[in-house]
Amino acid sequence: MSSSLLSVAQPSTITSDATDSPRAGNSLIDGDNELLIAIMGPTGSGKSSFINLVSGSDGAVGHTLKSCTREVEPTDVFELGGHRVRLIDTPGFDDSRVSDADILQKIADFMDVSYRSGRKLNGLLYFHRIIDNRVGGVSYMNMQMFQKLCGDGALKNVFLCTTMWDLVPPEVGEERERELKEDFWASMIEQGASVVRHDGSAGAARNVVSRMLHLNPVTLRIQEELVDEQKTLMETLAGARISEVLRNLESKYRELLKRASDDYQKAIEEKNRVMEALIEKQRKEYQAKLDKANKDNETLLRVRDTTITSLASRLESLETRGRAYWWLFFNSPRSPPSALAGQATASSSAAPSVSAPRGSTAQLSTASKPVEKRAARPDQWNCAIM
Ligand SMILES: Nc1nc2c(ncn2[C@@H]2O[C@H](COP(=O)(O)OP(=O)(O)O)[C@@H](O)[C@H]2O)c(=O)[nH]1
Ligand SMILES: [Mg+2]
């Protein structure tokens, strides 16, 4: 990469003395707008921990497999530097128990509904662990999906954030960061993406977000594709990429399974018990991976032909998840679609178990305070379509 490119996006280690300068259009006083910032990246890259640090919420941090984020999860609104901010946590494309196709659909659904309801994202943060010594399968897949979802036009609102600097010697981290900038992130940096380091502290986390508060909202490529161009999910760049990856994976594991089955047969004939057990174990692993690829492909087939033309029909198609997007309609340029609002009743149905804004029950610092909760909640609407 050229030195001029490097100079465009020198990483900045965010320290707690950085400040933001609120702009009139986005401030609490003028317009009372909420700023939306989405957080993406592989599972385990520190997204939920970061979100908890900034917002004071207590969403699931993945110390165990079970506690990983599997839904698009907005925080409650909180205040930062005079702005009302909501962060959106997203699952990574690498969950062993949820198909990548399902994850794409969940993220695409959220982006679709938010865009149709007139709410654009102000920024996107992409997380990457600096401890990863190579950008292999999972990291690469997540980066590719992120780029396809964003499109080039949104990259000026993207911050590429490295985490877990406390776990590597500084010189090792710096070398990996250089590789990321010169290779994997080079095209995003050229289009305006910024590179930042998060040192794990609450002050640093808040200052990363502070740097995004003045950005003008952007439309993501996937939002244009789904809403403006009325493409099906599989016709989008992200959908096409995932479908290509899954097709390749399916044929790869089918081939590996066939070879393992031949070797297994040979081991039985040769009465080689040790080899037989080893190959059987391998065969089961390949079978599980093939099953997952098949399941992903089934999900893709299910969503392949669905083109959604209106917000009401999008919400209808979302079943339980749609109910969790109620908050998008508050302070939004659009009202809830009549399909929802017309059925509002005083009787309360169960709040959605997923995607409802996280409670902000944790101790909060003065720099990050929760804003008052809204009185009306559409989870109290008895919506037949949900
Ligand atoms: N050492 C270290 N661990 C971290 C840091 N950030 C997060 N973690 C840990 O990394 C694990 C995954 O974090 P999580 O926030 O759930 O990642 P997510 O899957 O991207 O949401 C958890 O055990 C966190 O406590 C960091 O900056 N340094
Ligand atoms: Mg998480």
| CA torsion through residues 74, 361, 93, 293, sign | negative
Return residues with CB closer than 5 A to ligand 2 (ion).
47-48, 69
With a 6 A CB cut-off, is 43 part of the ligand 1 pocket?
A: yes
Tokens of 377: 């909640």
CB 66 within 8 A of CB 374: no
Q: Does position 310 have pLDDT exceeding 50, yes or no?
A: yes
- Residue 360 burial by Cβ neighbours in a 10 Å radius (0-12, 13-18, 19+): buried
**Which of 16-30, 65-79, 165-179, 232-246 is predicted most confidently?**
165-179
pLDDT tens by residue, 311-323: 877 777 777 666 6
**Which of 151-165, 234-248, 316-330 is predicted most confidently?**
151-165
With a 6 A CB cut-off, is 48 part of the ligand 1 pocket?
A: yes
Q: Does position 175 have pLDDT exceeding 70, yes or no?
A: yes
Q: Which runs of E-coded beta strand occur in the chain?
A: 12-13, 34-40, 73-74, 78-80, 83-89, 123-129, 158-163, 194-197, 369-370
Residue 343 is predicted with a pLDDT of: 43
The stretch 334-355 carries a mean pLDDT of: 45
pLDDT tens by residue, 212-234: 999 999 999 999 999 999 998 88
CB 157 within 8 A of CB 215: yes
With a 6 A CB cut-off, is 128 part of the ligand 1 pocket?
A: no
Question: Within a 13 Å sphere around the CA of 110, how many CA atoms are in the beta-carbon half?
Answer: 25
Residue 216 is predicted with a pLDDT of: 94
Ligand showing the shortest atom-to-Cα distance for residue 163 = 1
Residue 315 is predicted with a pLDDT of: 79
* Cα of 199 from ligand 2 centre, angstroms: 18
Identify residue 73 by its one-letter amino acid code.
E
With a 6 A CB cut-off, is 226 part of the ligand 1 pocket?
A: no
* Cα of 165 from ligand 1 centre, angstroms: 11
Closest ligand 1 atom to Cα of 52:
15
Closest ligand 1 atom to Cα of 63:
23
With a 6 A CB cut-off, is 65 part of the ligand 1 pocket?
A: no
With a 6 A CB cut-off, is 138 part of the ligand 1 pocket?
A: no
HEC profile for 140-197?
HHHHHHHHHHHCHHHHHHEEEEEECHHHCCHHHHHHHHHHHHHHHCHHHHHCCCEEEE
CA-CA distances (angstroms) from residue 83 to 209, 273, 367? 11, 67, 11
- CA distance linking residue 227 with residue 110, whole number of Å: 12
The per-residue pLDDT of the chain, averaged, comes to 76
Residue 234 is predicted with a pLDDT of: 87
Neighbouring-strand partners of residue 162:
128, 197
Question: pLDDT tier at 49 (50, 70, 90 boundaries)?
Answer: very high
pLDDT tens by residue, 105-116: 889 999 999 999
